[in-house]
Structure 1
Amino acid sequence: MNVYLRAVCEELSRRGIPTEVFTRRSSASGPDRVRLAQGSWVTRLAVGPAEEIDKGRLFDLLPELTQAVVDEARRRRARYQLIHTHYWLSGWVGARLRDEWRLPWFHTFHTLARVKNERAAEGAMVEPDHRIAVEQTIVRNADRLIASSLQEADDLVRLYGALRGQVVVVAPGVDLRLFAPRPTAALRARLELGAAKVIVFAGRLERLKGAEIVVRALALLSGQLAATQSPVLLVIGDDSHNGARESQASGGERARLLALARTLGVDQQVRFIGSVDQEALAGYLSLAAVCVVPSYSESFGLVALEAAACGTPVVAARVGGIPAIVKDGLTGFTLVSHDPAQYAERIGRLLLDDELGRCFSRRSRLVATQFSWQETVDRLVAEYAAPRVPELRPAVAG
């Protein structure tokens, strides 16, 4: 979500539209206000302890955060023309700011509790009832819901009773200059990969994201391929709050996955890279012969788009916005099933057929060029500037 907000605020800034993002201070260091771009600021408010806290505690801080936003705006005599909140926690705040300031209110969920619960992986945490209640209230009261994909829009209507006319689909974008094919010989040498082909999984380590499927698929592939053809799996990302809790008995999701790799005899082929910045991620995606996105649910599936922009074929679950990015049999493969054997078969095709990989790579990049942040912001501004919304001045994102 941080990638989305930064990219949108920077693009709005280039158009002369200032923004202000309110968030809770999670560290005692650093200034209260940080400039993202010309006229675009992140304001960090002293709400609760100045440290990272358990996600479950954030809900209790929302009344204090709401009042802090109101007080800060009043102190600086700031005036806004609209509110755009992101994620359900910020939506709780946005509902009250809309009433306080009497402004149009837009909301983007990014994930939906009922979708996560409906499609949950075995062992995944169940999203709580109070989150579902807040999301339902947001759907009922927001002026416009911005969905990231047609699937998310359908889920809002089917599971939350949203009105079709209330929901608009605005797909996220990708930085096509950063995420582009690049030389990877130095990275390959640094990782001491030799000639091994690379599979990349990138995402939060939690059951929802399905990293276990890739580890099991790797084991199946390794049993079918000669030792000289054995691929290496790079796992990019760290335990999320949910991942740490879901796999607490194993020491966290990363530890559970490593133990599974040992049990399956592929621990020497699995490298846990940890979290990386966008520049490094683009390098790893360019290095990969295939990127695997086996999520049980996604509102969009941004990493699949980032991989496609790097010219890397994707094997992914057919969820969220992924079918718009990965054209099955043309740029990669999509699967309804989460069966590791089916993933192994599709991944194996790409590892063993270089011409197929090159063909998918060229087409992937062409598809990705249709998803720019400029196009995303074009669509957002069109919604912001609808007749019910006054002339734009500083916006609020939360």
Structure 2
Amino acid sequence: MPVVYPASDHEPAETEHPVASLAFPFYDGYRMAFPSPPDAVAGADVVHAHTPFGLGLAAVRLARRNDAPLVATYHTPTAEYAEYVGPDAVTGAVRRASERYERWFLSRADLVLTPSERTRREVRALGVDTPVEAMPNGVDTDRFQPTDPTAFLAAHDLPADEPLIGYTGRHGYEKRLGDLLAAAAGVDATVVFGGDGPARGDLEAEADARGVDARFLGFLDREEMPAFYSALDVFAFPSPIETEGLVALEANACGTPVAGVDAGALSETIIDGTTGYHYDAGDIPGFRRAIRRALDDRDTLAENCVARRPDISVGRAIDRLAARYRELLG
């Protein structure tokens, strides 16, 4: 299956096709592709867009050109990022413009998929009249499985004899990672951050100010991720804007429970009392209690996480998606 993506420093495989792109000026790390499908994918039976922007517009053109169904997966509510792309005075206008654009784009698809039921309801609330269905993405359970973390701990100089609380992903301000440091200040544990992003410097300063033993590992090789998750006693996830929270599922697949905010898709991704615990957004003492409960119940929660692996596998998600493609083609 051909995959089209914004050109970057990634070396494309035979079926991967980069499109010329520019750095997005308002959000570090994102790139905007030109809205033109490459000649190598001139013919298509089904076109599936994973962004409403440059490549999303290219997908609309390609689907029309081939009289093919257009499927759009809604990954990110762009309006939620309005406060990060301009001064406060224009946040409301940016949010409204984002919602109008999303409604316009999604209404041109034959089917809209969302990674969670809550996100499906949010898309419906935008006024989209296209069929909208919740279809979780799933995780690669062949890759993400319980792994001996001994070598990983030694390689990154992490303690093997005390609790580890961790997070991996983009260090963006919208992720509210400062809440994790505030909650961890009352827990006898080391906090481990994987990944990077614009908020990292402020997070490092906050950790120092709070006296939290926080380790910032930066970007990790994908091969290291199962050991990273397996090394943690609890994965902590304070971001309220997730449409699925894939890293929470990856952690669960490795047998690691999650303490996460009861907001966005994490309300569904985390099964409270089974694969982790929820807390109310902004409730730092509640976050601390969720972390402590997950630490106390780690063994039972880990067993539950491992038992749930077949339900969250990417193989199951692919089977569902392929069946839906066939239905669209009649």
Same-fold call, TM > 0.5?
Answer: yes
- Where relative contact order (Cα < 8 A, 6+ residues apart) is larger, the structure is 1
2:308 aligns to what SS in structure 1?
helix
- Name which of 102, 119, 128 aligns with 1:135: 102
Report the residue type matching 2:45 in the other structure: Q
Q: Which residue of 1 aligns with 2:320?
A: 379
Question: Where do 5+ consecutive residues of structure 2 fail to align?
Answer: none
Report the residue type matching 2:171 in the other structure: L
Report the residue type matching 1:157 in the other structure: R
Alpha carbons 2:6, 2:31 under 8 Å: kept: no
Distance in 1 (alpha carbons) for counterparts of 2:147 and 2:30: 43
Q: Which protein has the bigger helix share?
A: 1
Q: Which residue of 1 aligns with 2:48?
A: 84
2:2 aligns to what SS in structure 1?
strand
Alpha carbons 1:315, 1:334 under 8 Å: kept: yes
What does 1:92-103 align with in structure 2 at a 5 Å threshold?
Answer: 92-103=57-68
Q: Which residue of 1 aligns with 2:144?
A: 179
Alpha carbons 2:140, 2:315 under 8 Å: kept: no
Q: CA deviation at 1:59?
A: 11
Alpha carbons 2:117, 2:134 under 8 Å: kept: yes
**1:130–1:57 CA distance, 2 compared to 1 (3 A):** farther
- Name which of 132, 147, 153 aligns with 2:114: 147
User: What percentage of aligned pairs have identical amino acids?
Assistant: 25
Render the CA deviation track for 1:310-336: whole Å, top value 9, x for unaligned. Answer: 111110112333333322122210123
Render the CA deviation track for 1:154-183: whole Å, top value 9, x for unaligned. Answer: 00011x1124x7011111111112211121
Render the CA deviation track for 1:6-54: whole Å, top value 9, x for unaligned. Answer: xxxxxxxxxxxxx111223234x95xx522xxxxx11123x356xx564
What does 1:251-330 align with in structure 2 at a 5 Å threshold?
Answer: 253-266=199-212, 269-330=213-274
Q: Which residue of 1 aligns with 2:191?
A: 233
Q: Which residue of 2 aligns with 1:34?
A: 13
**1:34–1:24 CA distance, 2 compared to 1 (3 A):** same
Q: CA deviation at 1:55?
A: 6.0
Distance in 1 (alpha carbons) for counterparts of 2:32 and 2:253: 39
Distance in 2 (alpha carbons) for counterparts of 1:184 and 1:48: 38
Q: How many residues align?
A: 321
Question: Where do 5+ consecutive residues of structure 1 fail to align?
Answer: 1-18, 36-40, 222-229, 245-252, 391-398
Kindly name which structure, 1 or 2, has the bigger radius of gyration based on alpha carbons. Answer: 1
2:35 aligns to what SS in structure 1?
helix
TM-score, normalised via structure 1 length: 0.74
Distance in 2 (alpha carbons) for counterparts of 1:257 and 1:131: 29
- Name which of 146, 168, 174 aligns with 1:202: 168
Distance in 2 (alpha carbons) for counterparts of 1:324 and 1:106: 23
Alpha carbons 1:182, 1:286 under 8 Å: kept: yes
1:370 aligns to what SS in structure 2?
helix
2:277 aligns to what SS in structure 1?
strand
TM-score, normalised via structure 2 length: 0.88
Q: CA deviation at 1:295?
A: 0.7
| CA RMSD after TM alignment | 2.8
Render the CA deviation track for 1:46-77: whole Å, top value 9, x for unaligned. Answer: x356xx56467999976xx334x25x14xx8x
